[in-house]
Structure 1
Amino acid sequence: MNVPDQPENPVLHVVVCATPRARVIGEFVELAAERGWTPCVVATPEAMKFVDSEALGELTGYPVRHKYKNPDEPDVLPPPDAIPVCPASFNTINKWAAGISDTLALGLITEAIGMGIPLVAAPAVNSAQAAHPAFERNIDELRGAGVKVLYGPGVWEPAAPRSGGAPFAWELALDALDEFRAASAG
């Protein structure tokens, strides 16, 4: 299998889910690059409706991936050193915790748990979704598997449905990723 050369800086596979916050994922990508990461974007199929894949490709230097490649095709993204799931949708959180791997994005993050790749999840849900009994249970499940889930009092809390939401501070996810990087270097 052909794998692209590993860049000088550590690589992020930024997994983007279908939430309104996905429209501005370029901001996160730019901030990650400023902090010394090489960001690549992997979108869920539904997130492709929200992102400008051409602009993100120009920004990162890598195509936005959203589906599995054919087995005989080379990988177009370098292997990740860490994976932020940012924004993480209600659907993705619940499927991920259940081990469902029916998209490229879910396949990468379910496998990353077993590979020991650092994972940070930044849920982007509303208060009605967060009230579903499966959501808290699945947040706990992911945390138990070693995923740093940036959710809860004092971190980030959901807003009411259709209220415009409480935007997630990209810096929180980047700070968590930087902590992983510092721990692996030291």
Structure 2
Amino acid sequence: MTGQDRKPFLYVVVCAAWPAGGVGELIALAQERDWEVGVIATPLATGFFDTAAVEARTGRPIRSAWRAPGDPRPFPDPDAVTVAPATFNTVNKWAAGISDTLALGTLCEAYGMGVPISALPCVNEALTAHPAYRDSLERLRGMGVRFGEHAFDGPGQDGSRWERALDLLAR
């Protein structure tokens, strides 16, 4: 396939929070919408979901660490990025431009690449009251990040929360 006939490529950034266990559903929905998908997980997030199942579904390794100089790039450049679930820690570091993990570095670079970015926060009510979080949301919205509000208020919701991440990219 040439660059013109390839499917669009979606980076799914996964943070360490309870909804990560359902990320396979997000991947399946993205593939149904004709996306190719690569998963980038924060270092702790891989303990929250079935990594073997995700790698089998995407046909690609999950990335959570920087590649060594000279190693080939395992994913093409993204056409879009979604962060689901997006934790308090990731949202605040991302807004501050901190790039101390591959996931955060990817998010910081995606802004500079001008690709659409969506995020589904998973942040409890006490943390959403913190002024740093509110400031981070404001900064990221100003950068064009599209947020799904209250996507993960609690367990037991249907798949529409995952669809929200993809719908936000289609705007």
2:93 aligned residue: 95
Aligned in 2, Cα 1:166/1:136: closer, same or farther, shift over 3 Å? Answer: farther
1:169 aligned residue: 161
Local SS of the residue matching 2:170 = helix
- Say whether the 8 Å CA contact 1:14–1:84 is kept in structure 2: yes
The Cα shift of 1:158 comes to: 6.5
- Say whether the 8 Å CA contact 1:130–1:158 is kept in structure 2: no
1:116 counterpart = 2:108: no
- Say whether the 8 Å CA contact 1:44–1:103 is kept in structure 2: yes
Residue type at the aligned position of 1:93:
V
Gaps of 5+ in 1: 180-186
1:5-24 matches, cutoff 5 A: 8-24=6-22
The Cα shift of 1:166 comes to: 6.6
C-alpha distance in structure 1 between counterparts of 2:19 and 2:113, whole Å: 28
2:73 aligned residue: 75
The Cα shift of 1:165 comes to: 8.3
- Say whether the 8 Å CA contact 1:90–1:135 is kept in structure 2: yes
C-alpha distance in structure 1 between counterparts of 2:168 and 2:34, whole Å: 14
TM-score (norm 1): 0.84
Aligned in 2, Cα 1:133/1:88: closer, same or farther, shift over 3 Å? Answer: same
Residue type at the aligned position of 1:68:
W
Aligned in 2, Cα 1:31/1:73: closer, same or farther, shift over 3 Å? Answer: same
- Say whether the 8 Å CA contact 1:142–1:149 is kept in structure 2: no
Aligned in 2, Cα 1:137/1:115: closer, same or farther, shift over 3 Å? Answer: same
Aligned in 2, Cα 1:87/1:36: closer, same or farther, shift over 3 Å? Answer: same
- Say whether the 8 Å CA contact 1:127–1:158 is kept in structure 2: no
TM-score (norm 2): 0.91
What is the percentage of aligned positions where both structures have the same residue? 48
Residue type at the aligned position of 1:177:
L
Name the count of aligned residue pairs.
168
1:1-186 matches, cutoff 5 A: 8-151=6-149, 156=150, 159=153, 164=155, 169-179=161-171
Gaps of 5+ in 2: none
The Cα shift of 1:104 comes to: 0.3
The Cα shift of 1:146 comes to: 1.2
| Structure ranking higher on relative contact order (CA contacts 8 Å, 6+ apart) | 2
C-alpha distance in structure 1 between counterparts of 2:152 and 2:107, whole Å: 23
Local SS of the residue matching 1:169 = helix
C-alpha distance in structure 2 between counterparts of 1:145 and 1:174, whole Å: 18
- Say whether the 8 Å CA contact 2:85–2:121 is kept in structure 1: yes
Q: CA RMSD in A?
A: 1.9
